[in-house]
Structure 1
Amino acid sequence: MKNFIQNGHMITVPAPTGGVASGQGVIVGGLFGIAATTAPEATNVEIATTGVYDLPKAPATVFALGDWVAWDDAAKVIAPPAAGLYPVGVAITAAGNGAVTVRVRLDGVATAAA
């Protein structure tokens, strides 16, 4: 195909306000991904839009295998889908009370705050 650019698993975007740390979730418009490197604000950073990642969650939040998950950009954690959060994928392991991470499969679909 003459018009193919890339598979889209990694996208280059400007780092958000305040910069980003490697492994941190990033929202740029309707795009969510995980930063591959640490980058200062407004510099280019590669983000992964698909794949499986251990991401932070609030210790009191509980997820079952297969639960839909969303990104809370204010708290920088995975949370249950709710108004104002960005749907990003599915929990692929259970994560109980006291756990600080949940394993998430990113769906790679453009997102918007619910």
Structure 2
Amino acid sequence: MTSQATFYKNSDIRKITATSDMTSGQVVQLAEGRVGIVQGLNSGALVTGESVALATQGVFDINAASATTFSAGDEVFWDSSASAAVPASVSLDASADFYLGVATAAKTSGQTTVKVDLNAGWKRLRPFVYEFDCETGVDTATHTLIPAAMNPTGLKILSITGEVSEVFAGSSQDQGIVTIKDTATTPNTICTLTPSDAAADAVGDVIQAAGAANAILSATGVACVNVAAGRGVTGVVSQATSGGTPAGKMKVYVLAIPLV
């Protein structure tokens, strides 16, 4: 039988050109979304513009807050603002935070690292769930639900859904609106998520996008929403709750598949 494959190189080491100063052990996200750990540098070494080796496979002890806990098998993410490993949560923003891998052992309170099988279970398309706080003046930032790196070939949006996680209140219950857009130079609006004011909202209520942004429930003949390759999906509170006792939060879920 003729050979069907020949060895080229180990896949667990990647080399990149550093775009900033790096130190050994630093956690870095690669262009396609995987994570690498800087190898072989002296502490404090300045390597901007130099070739840097990154380990992309193996079990690593990753820094984590003392109070953070994991069970073996838990998914582990990198919180860039805290420079620490964290569990999945609705406060992670895919513009800076990213998936690390799977915990290979439990981490209890008091321990300051978690053992992570780097990139285990990695999927290119892994939309983030974010909880938007719609109260006036609380959250004015744009949050990334699908980063552009997860979309090399284009995406078809199957469903965008909100879930009430704090009851909406204020002058009218439909004030807390979240708008979902792509990241084109001039962003295209994909949909808006608006709580109903027909009756009191309850935690767990669904907030459904209408029309093309909900292809699963749309009628035959409604065009699907596609997001062009190289673009991400973001959300922002476009209308906040106000009045005497403003309140209201929603978690936003995006279901999408790659275009083929």
TM-score (norm 1): 0.81
Gap change, CA 1:27 and 1:36, over 3 Å in 2: same
Q: Indicate conservation of the 8 Å contact 1:70/1:81, yes or no.
A: yes
Determine the structure 2 residue equivalent to 1:45: 52
1:100 equivalent to 2:106? Answer no
Contact persistence 2:34–2:119 (CA under 8 A): no
Q: In the alignment, which residue of structure 2 is the partner of 1:15?
A: 18
Q: CA deviation at 1:20?
A: 1.8
Segments of 4+ in structure 1 off by > 4 A? 110-113
Give the counterpart letter for 1:27 in structure 2: Q
Aligned to 1:28: 30
Write out per-residue CA displacement over residues 85-105 of structure 1, whole angstroms, 9 at most, x where no aligned residue: 211211111111121101110
Identity across matched positions, percent: 33
Q: Is the 8 A contact 1:32 1:110 kept in 2?
A: no
Larger CA Rg, structure 1 vs 2? 2
Is 2:74 aligned against 1:71? no
CA distance in 1, matches of 2:19, 2:108: 31
- Does the 8 Å CA contact 2:35/2:119 hold for their aligned counterparts? no
Report if aligned partners of 1:87, 1:113 keep a CA contact under 8 Å in 2.
no
**Distance apart, 1:28 and its partner CA:** 3.0
**Larger CA deviation: 37-46 vs 88-97:** 37-46
Kindly tell me: are residues 113 and 12 of structure 1, through their superposed partners in 2, closer, same or farther at Cα, counting changes over 3 Å? Answer: farther
Query: Does the CA-based 8 Å contact 2:99-2:119 persist in structure 1?
Result: no
- Tell me which residue corresponds to 2:197: none
**2:144 match:** none
CA–CA distance in structure 2, aligned partners of residues 6 and 73 of structure 1: 31
Q: CA RMSD in A?
A: 2.3
C-alpha spacing 1:35/1:41, structure 2 compared with 1 (3 Å) = same
What is the count of residue pairs matched by the alignment?
112
C-alpha displacement of 1:81: 2.0
What residue in structure 2 maps to residue 6 of structure 1?
9
Task: Return the letter of the residue paired with 2:26.
Answer: Q
Q: 1:47 to 1:110 in 2, by over 3 A?
A: farther
- C-alpha separation between the residues in 2 aligned to 1:90 and 1:98? 20
Indicate the SS of the match to 2:118. Answer: strand
**Contact 1:16–1:28 (CA<8 Å) still a contact in 2?**
no
